[in-house]
Structure 1
Amino acid sequence: MLQGLRQNPHGPVGPWHEWDEEGRLLRETVYDALGNRIIVRELDEHCDIVKQEKFAPTKLLTDPETGEERPAPWL
């Protein structure tokens, strides 16, 4: 029985969370499977989203058969 990743990941995998000294979540950064930063969310002291930025992927997955490029899945 296998659980989790079955191949070695490279680059950042997300989401990544940043916490303050008191244990409150301050920021969440979501990456896709290729390491592209997709979303950055900043949260207030009640964990409500106060700011959200979305980014277009800089690297795309390429289908080896068709050559079609598309965004990678989010992690």
Structure 2
Amino acid sequence: MLHHAYGKIGPWNEWGAQARLVRQTIFDALGNRIIERHFDEAGNIAHEERNAPTRLWRDPATGEERPAPWLWY
């Protein structure tokens, strides 16, 4: 999806030579970058970084702020 009210959402992949996945960044429904993965030559995860959401969703009924709704559990 290219246009969304909060910017990028879902997985965004960067491909290298010979269609090899080199990096994947995952954005939540509010556009927060929550996971970034770098892959080695064999396609294994070489580095993974997880980030806490910086942009929160505000419940209109209660005013409570939470991460993107699909992250609730």
Whether the TM-score (by the shorter chain) exceeds 0.5 is yes
- Identity over aligned residues, as a percent? 53
Secondary structure (helix, strand or coil) at the match of 1:22 reads: helix
Could you tell me which residue of structure 1 aligns to residue 19 of structure 2? 23
Name structure 1 gaps, 5 residues minimum.
none
- The alignment of Structure 1 onto Structure 2 pairs a total of residues equal to 68
Could you tell me which residue of structure 2 aligns to residue 51 of structure 1? 47
Alignment of 1:5-44 (within 5 A): 9-10=4-5, 11-44=7-40
Q: So what's the TM-score if we normalise by structure 1?
A: 0.81
Name structure 2 gaps, 5 residues minimum.
none
Return the structure number with greater helix share: 2
Larger Rg computed on CA atoms: 1
Q: So what's the TM-score if we normalise by structure 2?
A: 0.83
The superposition leaves residues 13-62 of structure 1 with CA deviations (integer Å, 9 ceiling, x where unpaired) of 22000011211000000001111100000011221111000111111011
**How many Å separate the matches in 1 of 2:63 and 2:43?**
42
